[in-house]
Amino acid sequence: MSIAELAKNFHAEHRGNCAMSVAYAFARASGKTEKEAVESAEMFRNFGGGRAPNGTCGALYAAMMMQPDHVEALEAFFRRGAKGFTHCKEIRPNAIISCNRCVELAGEALDFLSK
């Protein structure tokens, strides 16, 4: 299963916020056990709902933390899918895309890097 699918499902099942969902998915796709992936996700509990540094979307923030050498590429990929936006306070209140789509999009960006 792709990182995008894993992240979207984790989020849709209400197992964690946007940042947690991406961290979980990346961990699972990297071969971590369920328990290890949940532990990885827990490290991002405080970064959902607009609380990531600089107000960045939590899903994007988690993706950037998973692949710190590719921050610019991840942000550019995310920005294209989010109609030019990267900050939660711009995306959520204006219904640019749903939170679940943000999670999926960040996962797609990570999947793209792994190809």
Query: In the chain, how many domains are there?
Result: 1
* Residues forming a β-bridge with 56: 87
Q: Which two tokens stand for residue 51?
A: 């609380």
Task: Supply the range of the domain harboring residue 49.
Answer: 3-113
pLDDT at 114: 86
Judge whether 39 and 17 are in contact, CB under 8 Å.
no
pLDDT at 47: 97
Say how far apart CA 115 and CA 113 lie, in whole Å.
Answer: 6
Q: How many CB atoms lie within 10 A of CB 94?
A: 10
The pTM is what? 0.96
Q: Which two tokens stand for residue 36?
A: 């290890």
Per-residue pLDDT of the chain (115 residues; tens, 9 = 90+): 999 999 999 999 999 999 999 999 999 999 999 999 999 999 999 999 999 999 999 999 999 999 999 999 999 999 999 999 999 999 998 889 999 999 999 999 999 998 7
